[in-house]
Structure 1
Amino acid sequence: MIYIKVLHIISGNDNGGGAVHVLNICRCPSFENKICCIGEGELYSKALAMGIITVKYSLKELIFNKLVEYVKKENIDILNFHGPKATFIHYFTKFRLKKPCVVTVHSDYRYDFLNNKIKHLFYTPISKISLNSFDYYACVSQYIKDLLESKEFYGDKIVVNNGIDIKNIKITKSRNEIRKEIGLSENNFTFVMVARMHPIKNHEKLLKTFKRLSNEFDNVKLLLVGDGELENQLKNQVNKTKLNDNVIFLGYRSNSLDYINASDVSLLISLNEGGAPPLVILESGIVKKPVICSKVGDMGRIISDKNGFLINPYSEDSLYEKMKLSYLMKNKLNLLGENLYNDVVKKFSLETFWNRYYCFYERILNTN
């Protein structure tokens, strides 16, 4: 086993699955990790709180000289870039860094800027060019690996599925505490979706479908955990459809796991999912909650009728049928949740995750 020093470059304000992915890598005891944040924010603060050696610079500083200087000063062996801003930096610094550079591809680059038409038209081609500047790709799903190969990204690629720290998962508030706090009775059958409020996450279709379900069953509730640019639009939709008593907007919560645990069924109905499994699927499994999930990306390989429900995210009827089915088979949901838990423990441990990265880094250094 060789000693490896890795520097991760990522936006300091990342608070999604990419941030969790990086923080999990940095806990690996097999190689030394440092983080270079593009600006400050939640990830930057969390990394410092965890005791990870972390620095921050502006995008401009990193492009011009700070990244090259830091790599030389700390004698970094490999740089690992995460997210569109980081890949943009790599495009301008690649030949000055003179070190092997890996990009972890967390999502389908074609959908990263879907929330804004102008950004989508302008930044998507730039993102593709920046991604194409790498020689090594860590793909968070087989779907992403296949996509890159189909789009003629020619570098060396591996699949590194997301992992979860099973031993240190903590419920900070019990199911009963959370339900009491937000006004749920034991009679309420509760769905939860933990996702940023972005077009790709499909909240609008969820609310339309949930309206149909609530017309049929008066004890259903929907928890929406997350924030984003669509929040006001979605709240207006709830007001217009008179769902205020059934839909609860909780905003961003650092303890989202508690809200999954307090619910009966977890939802992830995105139009696209690059990572496999998404963090919310892993967390749902850990607290033994079945999921209703879009059949996109690698989800068809992870979710089945033994641990959840697969839907067509473009079909309101498909979603409605599975939400209704989950309600009607409420007495059997514990078995589905137990099966998902067993799948997560068996296939997506943090140790497996760490080993995939270490072997890839080692192979790259031996090649170079």
Structure 2
Amino acid sequence: MNKILNVALISPSKNAYSETFIQMHRKGIEGNVVYYFNGDLPTKNNLENRLASNIYKLFFRIKKIFKFTQLTILEQSLKHSFKKHKIDIVVAEYGTTAAAVYNVCFNTKIPLLPIFHGFDASINHILETHKNKYEKIFNYSKYIVVVSNKIAETLITIGCLKNKIIITPCAPQNKFFDIKPNFKKNNFLAVGRFVDKKAPYYTILSFVKVLRKYPNAKLQLIGDGPLKNVCENLINYYKVSNNIKIIGAVKSKDIDSYFENSYSFLQHSVVANNGDSEGTPVSVLEASAAGLPVVSTKHGGISDVILNNKTGFLVDEHNVELMAEKICNLIEDKLLAKKMGQEGRAFVRKNFSYQNHISTINKAIKNSL
């Protein structure tokens, strides 16, 4: 009889609205999952409000003073929690999280499975400051999970062995395959945080050009972030608030209706000035699963999951003119849009389903022991 594993799943945030894929991992990983959160080096889990009492912290501090341990107090608290819950393996969401918990895993000889998602393998200063820790992770871990071919290429460049890398984009929830898009109206949808790498302002500028030709077209943008005010100012400047609306953050359970009322998905991702890039955006996979043709950019893992001219259109980063042209193509040919949506749904169902993704994660966990 196979032993039931005790798995520590670690994420910096408890339940960020844009990180539905982490909650899907939490539900799908086989075994007893203890969910750690509140920072790269977590201070809480779903079973304990804090990992160590004040008495234990005092004990850890004394050990540190007398050099009985090289671990920090927070690391010792985490080590104590791992021991308490008899953790067999640590799954770290993001390379930066894996770097933060590496010392504890190495000290306790607990296997570590990092999952790289995007910024952790692209932002320049992160790659610089984490260089040594990443090298240690690459040596210590049997496998490294990444969500795009682009991330795999980056990690190989900085020292990870190719045969250690497992590529598996995060998957859409199964509910998206049941959505029926609305091809009767020219309604478009964009979902994503308002941050540099998602460049929502480029999506808006492209749509402004579309409105000059098709003034009845509508665009809804779902999300929140530091660029939200900039985008609202753009909408007001071009006087298109009747056509382009920012909805704000929407919970996963409430997002279905927005996909059902749209027939195409837009996202103009770019490499930010600091190097920040997408992994494989889950929202793009959700759109294809829902049967929406996607107009996006040749960026990160997007090219892995969108077949250009077959399940959507991909343009070069910053090319607002061509993005507008491709959006117009979908307005002018609804049969093409519908066919692309159907092709996209079939492609995602076959290659990027939740079942395939979580099976790959569970296999990586077992093979890491």
Q: Which residues in structure 2 correspond to 1:51-66 (within 5 Å)?
A: 53=46, 55=48, 57=50, 63-66=74-77
- 2:68 aligns with none
Q: Which residues in structure 2 correspond to 1:156-195 (within 5 Å)?
A: 156-166=164-174, 188-195=185-192
Letter paired with 1:68: K
Q: Is the counterpart of residue 99 in structure 1 residue 99 in structure 2?
A: no
Letter paired with 1:11: P
- 1:320 aligns with 324
Q: Matches of 1:2 and 1:58 in 2, distance apart? A: 26
Structure 1 residue 274: Cα displacement? 4.0
Q: Matches of 1:280 and 1:229 in 2, distance apart? A: 19
Q: Matches of 1:227 and 1:285 in 2, distance apart? A: 22
Q: Is the counterpart of residue 350 in structure 1 residue 357 in structure 2?
A: no
- 1:202 aligns with 199
- 1:69 aligns with 80
Q: Matches of 2:89 and 2:73 in 1, distance apart? A: 16
Cα deviation, 1:34-63, whole Å, max 9, x if unaligned, reads 211116xxxx9xxx9xxxx55555899983
CA distance 1:227–1:29, change in 2 (3 Å) = closer
Structure 1 residue 86: Cα displacement? 2.1
Segment of structure 1 superposing worse, 156-165 or 260-269: 156-165
Q: State whether residues 6 and 33 of structure 1, in contact with CA within 8 Å, keep that contact through their aligned partners in structure 2.
A: yes
Q: State whether residues 13 and 38 of structure 2, in contact with CA within 8 Å, keep that contact through their aligned partners in structure 1.
A: yes
Larger radius of gyration: 2
Letter paired with 2:16: N
Q: Which residues in structure 2 correspond to 1:144-163 (within 5 Å)?
A: 144-154=151-161, 156-163=164-171
Q: State whether residues 162 and 275 of structure 1, in contact with CA within 8 Å, keep that contact through their aligned partners in structure 2.
A: no
Structure 1 residue 235: Cα displacement? 0.9
Q: State whether residues 83 and 106 of structure 1, in contact with CA within 8 Å, keep that contact through their aligned partners in structure 2.
A: yes
Structure 1 residue 266: Cα displacement? 0.5
Q: Matches of 1:168 and 1:302 in 2, distance apart? A: 16
CA distance 1:187–1:206, change in 2 (3 Å) = same
Letter paired with 2:7: V
Counterpart secondary structure, 2:336? helix
Counterpart among 249, 268, 287 of residue 284 in structure 1: 287
Q: State whether residues 257 and 283 of structure 1, in contact with CA within 8 Å, keep that contact through their aligned partners in structure 2.
A: no
Q: Matches of 1:244 and 1:295 in 2, distance apart? A: 29
Q: Matches of 1:54 and 1:326 in 2, distance apart? A: 50
Letter paired with 2:318: Y
- 2:4 aligns with 3
RMSD (CA atoms): 3.0
Q: Matches of 1:13 and 1:92 in 2, distance apart? A: 22
Structure 1 residue 196: Cα displacement? 0.2
- 1:303 aligns with 306
- TM value normalised by structure 1: 0.80
Q: Matches of 2:109 and 2:154 in 1, distance apart? A: 28
CA distance 1:337–1:94, change in 2 (3 Å) = same
Letter paired with 2:322: S
Q: State whether residues 147 and 301 of structure 2, in contact with CA within 8 Å, keep that contact through their aligned partners in structure 1.
A: no
Structure 1 residue 320: Cα displacement? 1.6
Identity rate of aligned residues, in percent?
21
- 2:38 aligns with 38
- TM value normalised by structure 2: 0.80
Counterpart secondary structure, 1:352? helix
Structure 1 residue 223: Cα displacement? 0.7
- 1:235 aligns with 232
Segment of structure 1 superposing worse, 98-107 or 322-331: 322-331
Gaps of 5+ in 2: 58-71, 272-276
Counterpart secondary structure, 2:224? coil
Q: Is the counterpart of residue 332 in structure 1 residue 336 in structure 2?
A: yes
CA distance 1:127–1:222, change in 2 (3 Å) = farther
Cα deviation, 1:145-184, whole Å, max 9, x if unaligned, reads 121001223483211222234268777xx989xxxxxxxx
Letter paired with 1:142: N
Q: Matches of 1:203 and 1:26 in 2, distance apart? A: 30
Gaps of 5+ in 1: 113-119, 177-185
Q: State whether residues 63 and 92 of structure 1, in contact with CA within 8 Å, keep that contact through their aligned partners in structure 2.
A: no
Cα deviation, 1:107-134, whole Å, max 9, x if unaligned, reads 143545xxxxxxx75x553344443331
Structure 1 residue 197: Cα displacement? 0.2
Segment of structure 1 superposing worse, 332-341 or 243-252: 332-341
Structure 1 residue 88: Cα displacement? 4.6
Counterpart secondary structure, 2:90? strand
